[in-house]
Chain A
Amino acid sequence: MEKPRFNWPIWVSLVLSIFAFLSYPLLFVNWPVTRDFPWANIALFVVAAFLLVVGVRRAFAPGRRRLSKIFSSLGALLSVLVLGMFILVAFIGSRWLPASMRAPQVSQKAPAFTLNDTNGKPVSLSELVLQPINGKPAKGVLLIFYRGYW
């Protein structure tokens, strides 16, 4: 009977999977190259999957205790769950967007609006379009609609 050994590849794989998941919204979204398609995260998951296979093979090698098999399997299952969550967040859930069929199209008139700025002062689209920028006449505005943080 072999001495019980810590099956490190499984646990390193799990930690790496969690990092691969969290690093997308927290780190890799900051650069367009790693945000538009999550290459970096997929690369991390590939390494995690490799360690997972190594770990599972170790756990089920002859002479390992049953407890080691159970814990390693649990760790492996968690890693796979994290990967599943990542796929959901990065590829599936992120595409659940309204159709926006009536959104203004190119060469159409942009709908007018008046909204408060950060000082609570009302600002209209027509003002924004006409106000000079650094003393020079403005050519237009770029409206950036975003999801908000609160």
Chain B
Amino acid sequence: MRSIQKNLDQFNAVGIRPVAISVDSPEESRELCQKAGYTFTFLSDPDLEAIGRYDLVHKGQGIKGHDISRPAEFLIDSTGTVRWRMLTENIWVRARPEQILEVAKALQ
């Protein structure tokens, strides 16, 4: 998330809007954004509406034993088609912004 914020200008320059999604409530996400200085869109999915549809539910893995999302990234073009995705096999390993920007530049 930090690396997305750091590269936000570059994402915007290639016409890509980063959107973060988790089960955290809007209040919790707002607090996170204020503390960490994130200025891109954060969406709240406590009922697993999107997380379920994208088949990313990680059962019982939240701090309170609640269901959360596994880490995953999808690049979606303006027609709503998935153009790139990253389903990490290790929660510590994420896509690097340079990698995503490379794919984003090729979008129409």
Contact = CB atoms under 8 A, between A and B. Distances in A.
A128 B41 CA distance: 9
A147 B69 contact: yes
A32 B28 contact: no
A145 B85 contact: no
Contacts of A131: 17
Given A100-B55, A133-B12, A140 B21 contact: no
Considering residues B53, B89, B108, which has the most beta carbons from chain A within 10 angstroms of its beta carbon?
B53
Contacts, number: 222
Interface in A97-150: 97-98, 100-120, 123, 125-126, 128-131, 133-134, 136-150
A142 B73 contact: yes
B24 A143 contact: no
B61 A147 contact: yes
Nearest to A24: B92
A2 interface: no
Interface residues of A, number: 57
B89 A133 contact: no
A30 B36 CA distance: 13
Contact of A36 (B29, B54, B69, B92): B92
A103 B82 CA distance: 11
A141 B12 CA distance: 10
Interface string A27-59: 001101001101000000000000000000000
Nearest to B64: A150
Given A102-B55, A115-B45, A138-B17, A97 B80 contact: no
Given A118-B30, A139-B78, A104 B54 contact: yes
Interface of A: 24, 29-30, 32, 35-36, 38, 90, 94-95, 97-98, 100-120, 123, 125-126, 128-131, 133-134, 136-150
Given A139-B104, A144-B73, 4 more contacts: A32-B3, A142-B18, A142-B100, A143-B21
Interface of B: 1-4, 11-12, 14-30, 32-33, 41-45, 49-51, 53-59, 61-64, 68-78, 80-85, 87-94, 96, 100, 104, 107-108
